Amino acid sequence: MTDWLKNSVFYQIYPQSFYDTNSDGIGDLLGITLKLDYIKDLGCNAIWINPIYDSPFLDAGYDVRDYKKIAPRYGTMDDFEHLLSEAHKRDMKILMDLVPGHTSDTHEWFQAAKNAYPTEFDDRYIFTDCVWEAPTDYRLMCGICERDGNYLVNYFSSQPALNYGFYKVTHPAWQKSSDSPEAWATVDALKDIMRFWLDKGIDGFRVDMADSLVKNDDEKIATAKIWRNMREMLDRDYPNAVMISEWSNPQRAIVNAGFHGDFYLDHHGNGYNSLFRKKIGDDNQSFFADHSHGDIEEFLADYFLGYNCSKDHGYICFITNNHDMPRAPFYMSDWMIRLSHAFMMTMPGVPFIYYGDEIGMRYRTDLISKEGGFSRTGSRTPMQWNSEKNAGFSDSDEDMLYLPIDRSEDAPTVEKQQGDPDSIYENLKALIALRKANPSLSNDSEIEVVYGKSHEFPFVYRRGEFTAFFNPSDNDAQVDYDMSGAENVYTLGGYESGDGFVKILPRSFLLIRQ
């Protein structure tokens, strides 16, 4: 296990929306460099940056045109190397976003593969054997190439899927086995890309759609084999580098595939969803919801399946949000956000804070899709720094901004919240400091549930000498507990205690040490 992950708290940056230094309306690498001290002061000692590779930006940079080139809108390779150097001077780590499952259709590999004449890249993608072969169980683009065949895509038509083979070959005329030389040539090409950036000194990768490589691989057996091979490369040649997966299956991602960490994503019906994002119509059934009537057992049943199998191998990564989901204010009040942050900062695993979540930036529902964002666009708006022009994000004209700024009078900004003890920002900053100062709250310290029953409150768990109590409901919640010798370490809301009991007041959090 890479030691530095044990005490890491990450900050996720969507680069085009973070800080613009050249007044073109788009955030850039120099902007990230200039804000490193801000990120470190918040308490984060590691950063994940969404893709900054050269791209036509039909999917916000996840459609990569050149894996070894910085997109000009973000700056130059020199700018990136400067960012990396300045981060390391501050003992901060940098993860790049690795996109292994597909490229842009403008990538030179695909430009060669789609032509009628043979090239070395003919098997880098997945083409059927003729234009009339288009099985309906695959997402295919049909009949738009010189080459006689149709090609598989991932999500958008502009993203041809790379060929890692098929675990179960159902169409032998055009499907290669996942053990074929053609499939492993793609693996070698990916390794080359990873080595390019690791040799520059980056600290690892967050891996996009990590489970999507091998096709017809329902149990992800062949896909895990590929990532195990990657992990062996890291352990041998880059022992301090890490891989964090977008998978949300700790057994498969961490135990089987060898990832150091795996994101706990908002998937319908899973534990994360039941905690923060479970809405059925207008009824918010999340545990952390205003007027909470959620069921903590839904979370516990799902979470501990993954935690118990993976805790000795890697980390479940809790996220405040990310670029693919509505921001928290769409589901909960600012106060409930503070309670949810208290939960995430006192749980095991590696926390990831999405830019702007430290001030409660809002999800916009009124925006036209930008660069393939569609419903996700509203979570990708510019960072709100201060009360100056364009909320301090950019000096550009308003019509040049990557996305519109929240111009409501009560729009949250860093300037408004820094120094305000009742703000989301100061609450999160204090919780991060508490976590980093206490080994029992570190990423790999174990957890014991003290009280967690279906549709009951409070939820109570212990980590070393610390015990955390949560009551997001509108009513008092009492639990049998001996508070002898307890020190009140952190409180949101209030509590009462007596002989053998603790009463947590409505919408409250208590952390004690004893």
What is the mean predicted confidence (pLDDT) over 17-33? 98
Number of domains into which the chain is organized: 3
Whether residue 385 sits in one domain with residue 255: yes
Q: What is the pLDDT of residue 278?
A: 97
* CA–CA dist 347, 60 (Å, integer): 32
Looking up residue 149, the CATH number of its domain turns out to be 3.90.400.10
The span from the CA of 373 to the CA of 250, in Å, is 27
Nearest alpha carbon to residue 259 among 306, 325, 324, 202 = 306
* Residue 474 token pair: 């509108």
- The answer to whether residue 173 sits within a structural domain is no
- Pairwise CA distance, residues 271 & 90, whole Å: 35
Provide, rounded to the nearest whole percent, the portion of the chain with pLDDT above 90: 99
| CATH number of the domain residue 502 falls in | 2.60.40.1180
- Average per-residue pLDDT for the chain: 97
Are residues 93 and 123 both part of a single domain?
no
Domain C-terminal end among 439, 466, 497: 439
Confirm whether 175 is domain-assigned. Answer: no
Q: What does pTM read for this prediction? A: 0.98
Main-chain dihedrals φ then ψ at residue 167, nearest 5 degrees? -70, -40
* Closest to 240 (Cα-Cα) out of 3, 491, 510, 69: 3
183 secondary structure, DSSP code:
H
Query: The tokens of 477 are what?
Result: 């919640």
Instruction: Please give the pLDDT value at position 296.
Output: 98
Query: What's the rounded mean pLDDT across residues 334-348?
Result: 98
CA distance 307 to 473: 26
pLDDT band at 493 (very low <50, low <70, confident <90, very high): very high
The CATH code of the domain that includes 81 is 3.20.20.80
Q: Quick one: pLDDT at residue 1?
A: 58
Asked whether residue 302 falls in the same domain as residue 351, the answer is yes
Given this model, what pLDDT does residue 231 score? 98
Q: What is the pLDDT of residue 2?
A: 82
Single residue among 409, 439, 469 that ends a domain in this structure: 439
- Domain boundary residue among 378, 408, 439? 439
User: At residue 265, what are phi and psi to the nearest 5 degrees?
Assistant: -95, 165
The verdict on residue 420 lying in a domain is yes
pLDDT at 431: 98
**Rounded Cα gap, residues 514 and 497, in angstroms:** 14
Q: Indicate whether 253 and 365 sit together in one domain.
A: yes
Residue 139 pLDDT exceeds 90: yes
Answer yes or no: do 299 and 404 share one domain.
yes
Q: What percent of the chain has pLDDT over 70?
A: 100
Q: What is the mean pLDDT of residues 114-132?
A: 96
- Both 311 and 408 in one domain: the answer is yes
Domain membership of residue 430 (yes or no) is yes
Distance CA 485, CA 502 (A): 14
For residues 75 and 143, state if they share a domain. no
Pick from 407, 434, 465: nearest CA to 341: 434
In a domain, residue 133? The reply is yes
Position 143 confidence tier, pLDDT thresholds 50, 70, 90: confident
Looking at the structure, tell me whether residues 93 and 107 fall in a common domain: no
**170 domain-assigned:** no
Three-state DSSP state, 232? helix
- The answer to the question of residue 452 being in a domain is yes
169 found inside a domain: no
In angstroms, the Cα distances linking 409 to 360, 405, 406, 412 are: 15, 12, 9, 9
Regarding whether 137 and 84 lie in a shared domain, the answer is no
DSSP letter, residue 345: T
Residue 307 has pLDDT above 80, yes or no: yes
Q: What is the mean pLDDT of residues 66-93?
A: 98
Residue 32, CA distances (Å) to 158, 260, 395, 486 in order: 29, 25, 16, 42
CA-based nearest residue to 181, from 173, 170, 193, 189:
189
- 94 lies in the same domain as 109: no
Q: DSSP per residue over 245-299, as a string?
A: ES---HIIIIIIT--SEEE----TTSHHIIIII-EETTEE--SSSTT----HHHH
Cα-based distances in Å from 163 to 177, 190, 247, 436: 10, 11, 19, 42
Whether 271 and 334 share a structural domain = yes
User: What is the number of other CB atoms lying within 10 angstroms of the CB of residue 191?
Assistant: 15
**Domain residue limits at 152:** 102-161
- Spatial separation of the C-alpha atoms in residues 181 and 179, rounded to whole Å: 7
What confidence tens digit (pLDDT) does each residue in 172-223 have?
Answer: 999 999 999 999 999 999 999 999 999 999 999 999 999 999 999 999 999 9
CA–CA distance, 420 with 436 (Å, rounded to integer): 22
Identify which of 402, 306, 378 has the alpha carbon closest to the alpha carbon of residue 347: 306
Residues 426 and 339 in one domain: yes
